[in-house]
Amino acid sequence: MYLLLLLVLSQKQTFAQVKSANGSILAATPPMGWMTWNYFADQIHEKEIMEMADALVKTGMHDAGYHYIFIDDGWQGGRDNRNNIIADPQKFPSGIKALSDYVHSKGLKLGIYSDAAPLTCAGYTASLGFEEQDARTFASWGIDYLKYDYCGAPSDAKTAKHRYKTMADALRKSGREIAFGICEWGDRKPWLWAAEAGGQLWRTTGDVRDKWKRRSEKEGGEGILDIIDVNAGLDQYAGIGHWNDMDMLVVGLNGKKGPSGDLGGTGCTIAEYQSQMSLWSMLASPLAATNDLRTMDEQTKRILLNKEVIQLNQDPLGKQAARKVNDAVWTILVKPLSNGDYAVAVLNRSDAAQTAELKFADLGLNEAYTVRDLWAHKTVAKGKKWKGQVNSHETKVFRLKNIKS
């Protein structure tokens, strides 16, 4: 029986992790970077993408772990007379290969976007029927990551799984190590099949918008809290090389530009942006910023560049936090870390400040700990509990170290 269990577990490992020639695991920790979509939508241009690559390095984001520039929808200019997919020459006059060389020269990686149907969500040329040819093209351009969308494709899970596997296989055959991001918005429970189909990550919800939560069932776009509520129940499906993707960070958009601006919103508050960073990190989601990196204010930098919080996201143990409390006021999550510490996040969901009285034993943490507040960057308690105020929509994040260790 024990042997059987071991066998099953080791088989699960082989499909869920893709190893490169040198033995490293693809997307061993959640990919981090900057994505074009929520700021530029499809109005992208190579010049601005190069400026974002410069800014990623200059602001210290690259050093903090944000290694990718992800080009989203809108780059495509159709196919040439040999059916090779080409970039829009107005938007990418130097071509994607030149952009990729530029991005790589900065020590960064480049992601690109396509869709498992004839056209993408924004109506551009996509890859159905051209999977191997497009994968070869992406490899020849030096692409390191592919986000693969699902607009215009049939709704059943069997077809989705097949179409994603076809592209994943094509990427593996391309000769280049290309991480694969599945994007079918959680509609077919991809956490149950996407790793097996060859994905390193899969979106679990519809598109994030720069807002805290949906005000009605009918309202389009997901708020930060809406996405947390879906993902916090999916911890068992994430692990090294296979992640639940909670979509882009809206931190620093401030209600402007791109799809989030369409809502006419004012954007989230600082506490809400800080909560997004905290919970995306706790829940081991990929971290794709999408704000204008060239003009980031100090608050945005403070949030996106909190290295102690990023460390939780990138912890090599690869555990997604488990939800221990979820009521009208509190969501409390616990994430075990590779050195034996635990991260604890305390989100106040309510519209007023609240006092939390946290007994660690109630979360299954039975020792005495030193408690470091990762937003205040200091030790705030020693022992078996923490008591303090959490503002509306704020998340406190603590790192607990066993006092005896």
Residues forming contacts to ligand GLA in the complex (CB under 6 A) are 37, 72-73, 120-122, 149, 183, 185, 207
With beta carbons less than 8 A apart as the criterion, state whether 74 and 96 touch: no
149, 245, 247, 292: the active-site residue: 149
* Residue 66: C-alpha distances to residues 52, 89, 91 (Å): 12, 28, 24
149 is catalytic: yes
Least separation in angstroms between CB 341 and ligand GLA: 33
Contacts of 306 (CB under 8 A, 6+ apart): 277, 374, 375
Least separation in angstroms between CB 247 and ligand GLA: 6
Least separation in angstroms between CB 343 and ligand GLA: 27
With beta carbons less than 8 A apart as the criterion, state whether 226 and 205 touch: yes
Identity of the residue, 42 or 394, whose beta carbon is nearer to ligand GLA in the bound complex: 42
207, 210, 235, 247: the active-site residue: 207
Distance CA 280, CA 244 (A): 10
Identity of the residue, 131 or 149, whose beta carbon is nearer to ligand GLA in the bound complex: 149
Identity of the residue, 126 or 365, whose beta carbon is nearer to ligand GLA in the bound complex: 126
* Residue 123: C-alpha distances to residues 72, 114, 120, 403 (Å): 13, 11, 5, 57
Distance CA 85, CA 107 (A): 26
Identity of the residue, 37 or 102, whose beta carbon is nearer to ligand GLA in the bound complex: 37
Identity of the residue, 120 or 291, whose beta carbon is nearer to ligand GLA in the bound complex: 120
DSSP characters over 198-219: T-SEEE-SS-B-SSSS-SSTT-
Least separation in angstroms between CB 12 and ligand GLA: 27
HSE of 120, CA atoms in CB hemisphere, 13 A: 22
Nearest to 181 by CA among 200, 204, 159: 200
Nearest to 75 by CA among 124, 29, 6: 124
Least separation in angstroms between CB 76 and ligand GLA: 11
73 is catalytic: no
Catalytic residues: 149, 207
